[in-house]
A and B are shown apart, each in its own frame.
Chain A
Amino acid sequence: MTIEELEQIAQSVSQENAKFDFEVNVCMDLACASQGAEKLRDALVKSAEAQGKNVLIRRTGCMGPCSSGPLVRVDPDDVLYKRVKSDNAEAIVSSLGGEPVPELQCDLSDHFDKQVRVVLENAGHIDPEKIDDYIAHDGYKALLTALTEMTPNGVVHRITESGLRGRGGGGYPTGLKWGTVAKAGGDMKYVVCNGDEGDPGAFMDRSVMEGDPHRVIEGMALAAYAVGASKGFIYVRAEYPVAVARLTTGIREARRRGLLGTGICGTTFSFDIEIRLGAGAFVCGEETALLASIEGKRGTPKPRPPYPAVSGLFGKPTLINNVETYANIAPIVRNGGKWFANMGSDRSKGTKVFALTGKITHTGLVEVPMGIKLREIIEVIGGGVPDGHTLKAVQTGGPSGGCIPAEMLDLGVSYDALMKVGSIMGSGGMIVMDDTSCMVNVARFFIEFCMTESCGKCIPCRAGTAQMHTLLTRICEGRGTMEELDLLVDLCGTIKETSLCGLGQTAPNPVLSTLKYFKNEYIEHIVNKRCPAGVCNIEAAVPAVPTEVLA
């Protein structure tokens, strides 16, 4: 495969597409699929045949605004239809070449205008099972350019220059990590992709792996070239069967095209990827636990150092990055580090994909430049809280993150700003809560999660999260005391400081952040035996005490 051959493929794809008068793109991502997108597609194909229209009907990955799904986009006119049922197929096909179907048309310009799509640029535009579709959108150009025109060091330099930081949540500078692995000695190195998106409420990585799998494969190949690795592993959750299937197809197609394998692009560079399935352990998102799992062992973390960059998979130097980090690599190599560094804020460059869910009008996948105000994401892109309720908090970072109160909506979203207010960027889950959510109950939900998911290796996490859960349950049931609340705070500090890995160290965050901003809710539960949001079933546990008696 050479650059010329890539261009030939891209040309033949556009020639093929030009044979059709219209393109009808049907979103096949999980959210739309769960609302009958597959049937809809079949109906569109039938209607096109019946009406004798020359239409290309394409299955695509996630288009973004999942709450309006199933989504259909008609090109070249760029008309977006929402909540399309298979009964609507005939009307859509009839409208091609004329006026769009008004009752299905959706105007989401507010939703899209504030977004900047880098990672998701292809999502909703290509068929993820066709490598040629990806190639037609500049796919694998970065890899071939790097192999033929750049040194491995040059690639590392470009990533460093971009200011890209790890998108898994930690925010470690990617270029620095690559440089460390590149410098590590030894004849065997590994490149690993962390696709164990265990953070409940986050699905960006799933959508990227399902909607644009080659993006991840190309990013990994570029990383392998840069650090001198010849073997890669993608660790994917077993709960994501479609992602596994798409990646499997993707790897096979890339091998067939000579973009993976021995002597890629006529150079001496060889690289191949294997998929490893997770088995339902949140702790495997932690890098040393993930490596243990790839080795076929229990996913328990190890103390660092040694860091995986020095001694990782099978004791060899290993580069581990998250799916979204790899998805950023090809555009950076293609467009230059400066291009990327021009987007975003001071110390958080580029864009970030968020899974916007919970009590918000437009749920779905959004990609925004770093530094954007939370208010813009919630009120403009997300369309605000529906049903006349008021916003209470935005949760980021999943079980390792925290709740940001509605008063802080003018916060610019960056690694440092979120850390400062007691949350974290995390992998990109953003869950909106309104006045019907009880913050104590939410804290208990996360602690229960961490308690169940604790691997049990170190005591602070294993026993500490269980004790925290007991205390929080007592508070939720109206049986807690103010002394116990102090004990809870103490326990948070101990667990944070003494746990071995990130799971334990960050487990208290949801409690600490809700205590910081919503302490009154805790006090209401403890002193007045009342759940302000009406979520906790206190009356069942203790007879209600009238407020005036205590006051």
Chain B
Amino acid sequence: MSAFTPPPLPSDDKRWKIVNGTMRKNGFARHALIETLHTVQSSFGYLDDDAITFVARSLRVPLSQAYGVVTFYHYFSLKPPGKHTLTVCAGTACYIKGADKLIATAEKRLGIPQGQTTSDGKISLMVARCVGACSRAPVALSDGEVAGEMTGEQMLEQLERWAVE
């Protein structure tokens, strides 16, 4: 039996080398699937068909299984994120302190439901299960930066700043 040859990189985009690096570090073992998908998402921002196919072939995992893993975990996204992302935490402590109202306010302002990106690709509105900053609830993240005791006004100000950029 001849040795397995991984497929060529999808393009000369340098980020594929980072993805390949994760797989090589794990000896192209099948159990490195989730690790590799994390690398793809952190490098490209999301997972598209080409990426999933490339990773599945490289790790000799059936494409159906790779797709199954991607869709099982909430953290993986099949769509590109907006230029900016507002994430509102909807953990229990945040919920008790009115996170649902923050989410409704943001949905109304952006005109999109949670989990989506505005049509101009500027802002994504996400909801997190719990970021662990419960003592400062309600919490929202602006491009990953955590802000506690968030008010509707503060949140709208942030959205305005992004909208006029």
Real binding pair: yes
B76 interface residue per 8 A CB criterion: yes
Q: How many residues of A contact B (CB 8 A)?
A: 54
A389 interface residue per 8 A CB criterion: no
CB of A353, distance to nearest CB on chain B (Å): 13
* B76: A residues at CB distance < 8 A: 279-280
Interface residues on B, range: 35 or more
B69, A200: Cβ atoms closer than 8 Å: no
Given A31-B148, A238-B38, A294-B31, A357 and B130 touching (CB < 8 A)? no
Cβ contacts A273-289/B at 8 Å (1 or 0 each): 00011111110000000
Closest to A359 in B: B96
B73, A279: Cβ atoms closer than 8 Å: yes
A203, B134: Cβ atoms closer than 8 Å: yes
The total number of A-B Cβ pairs within 8 Å is 139
CB of B68, distance to nearest CB on chain A (Å): 6
A200, B73: Cβ atoms closer than 8 Å: no
Which listed segment binds A: B2-10, B12-20, B87-95, B154-162? Answer: B87-95
A282, B129: Cβ atoms closer than 8 Å: yes
* A197: B residues at CB distance < 8 A: 132
A358, B148: Cβ atoms closer than 8 Å: no
CB of B88, distance to nearest CB on chain A (Å): 13
Task: Determine the distance from Cα of A395 to Cα of B35 in the docked complex, in whole angstroms.
Answer: 35
Closest to A434 in B: B96
Of A201, A207, A437, chain B has the most CB atoms within 10 Å of the CB of: A201
Of B97, B130, B135, chain A has the most CB atoms within 10 Å of the CB of: B135
Which residues of B, 117-152, contact A by the 8 Å Cβ criterion? 128-137, 139, 146-148
B84 interface residue per 8 A CB criterion: no
Given A30-B132, A280-B129, A299-B73, A35 and B148 touching (CB < 8 A)? yes
CB of B119, distance to nearest CB on chain A (Å): 26
B133, A433: Cβ atoms closer than 8 Å: no
Give the interface of A toward B (CB within 8 A). 30-31, 33-35, 66-67, 69, 197-203, 206-207, 238-240, 276-282, 293-299, 314, 355-359, 363-365, 395, 398, 429, 431, 433, 437, 442, 445-446, 449, 455
Q: List 20 A-B contacts (CB under 8 A).
A: A31-B148, A34-B133, A35-B136, A66-B135, A198-B130, A203-B130, A203-B135, A239-B129, A276-B35, A277-B35, A278-B73, A279-B34, A280-B73, A296-B31, A296-B32, A297-B69, A356-B135, A363-B136, A363-B137, A446-B92
Known: A357-B93, A442-B96. 5 other contacts (CB 8 A): A200-B130, A203-B134, A239-B131, A358-B137, A395-B92
9 tightest Cβ-Cβ pairs between the two chains A and B: A200-B91, A279-B73, A66-B135, A280-B75, A201-B92, A280-B74, A203-B132, A296-B33, A200-B130
